[in-house]
Amino acid sequence: MEERNLRNTRVRSWMEFFSAVALITAGAFIVSLLHFRADLTEDRRYTLSEPTVNILEKLEDDIYIQVFLEGEMPIPLKRLKRSVSELLDEFRMASRRKVDFEYINPSEGEDAAKRDALYSSLAAKGLNPVDIRASDAEGGKTVKRIFPGMLVNYNGAEVPVNFLRNNPSLSYEQNILHSMEGLEYEMIQTIATLTSDTIYKVAFIEGHDELPEIETADVTFHLARYFTVDRGKIHGTPGILDNYSAVIVAGPSSEFSEADKLVIDQYLMKGGRILWLFEEVEVNADSLVYGSTVALHRPLNLEDMLFRYGARVNPAIVQDIECNVIRLKITGSGNQQFISLPWLYTPLLIPNPGHPVTRNINRVLGNFTNYIDTVGLDGRIRKTVLLSTSPLTKTVAPPAVISLSEAEKIPAENEFNRSGLPVAVLLEGVFPSAFRNRPASSISGKAQITTLDESSETRMIVVADADITRNEVRRSGLELSPMQLGQDKYTGELFGNRDFIINSLNWLVDGNGLMELRSREMKLRLLDQQKIKSQRRTWQLINVLGPAVLVAAAGAVFSQFRRKKFTA
């Protein structure tokens, strides 16, 4: 009898065991089919935005991503890699596994020639390398090359995405934090562009001695990742701009005809978007090779239009204490040498940290910059300053002589009594036509032409410095090649000019709310260094002994429970 009871007990125990295993397995399988995640963080850093989810859910073909942030790297970059991994996992789940990715270490392998070839290939594709200094096993220093970026492949098209922000004015930790904040935008913007059925068209307007194509080549190349970019004259032809999502007026130096102004005005009235980049003061910088040049007032016949829209570019040049340097040749004691001196005419413009266009970008380099006044009391037009000068600024009115010898003088700070002058302004809302109550047919030369007196809801950005979008040109014999936009040709430092122009165009034509992702903010939670020093030993003991104490306490409670159960 006892043997039979023992056998039944064993059978029942095994049945309970297998039932529990089956139940757990079934539960795990059911849970794996559910796409549910709880984000308990204060800043919602693990939650995808609604526009991102909408784009990923509508993917029709697979996307393959190669991530090159792999291998041995400093801890801050490992945190960035972890954020990339978590975001890619979310992308894969939201897209129903249409997003696939792999990690590649470009520095693995012992063949130096192959590594260098891969480095060159990745750089040519648009990934920016970072050289990291590290200690080797023998106590020496080694330099490792890391590519904090990825290549997104979709239907044969390949687009690079760089993760790492590198703002020289911020700490390493802050740059990593800003990189993490911008990850979702950088990744989903690329995916949205690659998979979109509609490719927006933008155009550089010509015909008024604008910046030549070679001097806007860098920004054109990078804008081509998002848009179809055209160039051309408008010839006063009504409706010629209607098929473009945005137009760019980059550095005109001759007056606009009334017919061309009418075309641009009516394009705006129909909801078109405009990026204006021009100055009211002409400075021939090439003449500085002779030691000096002259600044002259140069009206472009755009003043009345811009005034009606709510902005005025002032005919005055900004001098700013916070500026870039210029290299001058100094001759003394029979020797010649080059020295770098502050050049007040190249202000380092301050981006507005609260707007998606300028959030987390480097300071923008200006050159013979003018400034903007916002005018008018029309409540339907909203005005936001995107770029401004530093608190120590003054202006120079034309006509004026500009001499290189000014760089050798120490500026008197008490003379710099202007602060935060607007250089780039965003205007949004309903704009009145600059040609209201004017005979449009006589201006355009067309017998019958219908004009609108006010616009639909639209946007424009006015920038009082065309050089913000002008790249330097390297000359080698008869061959011309553009340099990176915003890169100082002497120091190699890269300013935020390119990011500003690309973000401005993306903001102007943004139709799915993706640019708002650039407003995402994460908090930098660092350990209290004072407490680390004063309470170091206490926390070491807690971390070492705490887990052992908890395990021992749990074992004692479990043992006491079993003793009571089986001795009852």
pLDDT the model gives residue 447: 60
In tens, the pLDDT along 222-236 reads 898 888 999 999 988
Question: Taking a C-beta distance cutoff of 8 angstroms, is the pair 119, 143 a contact?
Answer: no
pLDDT the model gives residue 215: 93
CATH no., domain 198-511: 3.40.50
In tens, the pLDDT along 464-510 reads 999 999 998 888 777 888 888 988 877 778 899 999 999 999 999 88
pLDDT the model gives residue 178: 77
d(CA 82, CA 148): 12
Tokens, residue 479: 């061959």
Question: Taking a C-beta distance cutoff of 8 angstroms, is the pair 356, 396 a contact?
Answer: no
d(CA 511, CA 507): 9
Mean pLDDT of 75-91: 86
pLDDT the model gives residue 55: 85
Indicate if 198-511 has the same CATH topology as 50-193.
no
List CB contacts of 99: < 8 A, sequence separation 6 or more: 56, 59, 62, 63, 65, 88, 91, 92, 191
Asked if pLDDT for residue 240 goes beyond 90, the answer is: yes
In tens, the pLDDT along 435-448 reads 988 877 777 766 67
Mean pLDDT of 120-132: 84
Question: Taking a C-beta distance cutoff of 8 angstroms, is the pair 315, 370 a contact?
Answer: yes
Alpha-carbon distance values, 204 to 242, 250, 511, 549 (Å): 14, 7, 21, 71
In tens, the pLDDT along 20-60 reads 778 888 877 776 665 555 554 555 556 777 888 888 888 88
Asked if pLDDT for residue 2 goes beyond 70, the answer is: no
Tokens, residue 142: 């080694």
pLDDT the model gives residue 68: 87
Asked if pLDDT for residue 99 goes beyond 60, the answer is: yes
pTM: 0.80
Dihedral of CA 14/20/25/30: which sign?
Answer: positive
pLDDT band at 257 (very low <50, low <70, confident <90, very high): very high
Asked if pLDDT for residue 84 goes beyond 90, the answer is: no
Angle between helices 75-94 and 183-195 (to 10 degrees): 40
For the chain, give every domain's residue range: 50-193, 198-511
Other C-beta atoms lying within 10 Å of the C-beta of residue 125: 13
Mean pLDDT of 518-536: 65
50-193 folds as Glutaredoxin (3.40.30)
DSSP SS3 for 420: coil
Instruction: Identify the helix (H) or strand (E) that includes residue 504.
Output: helix 497-509
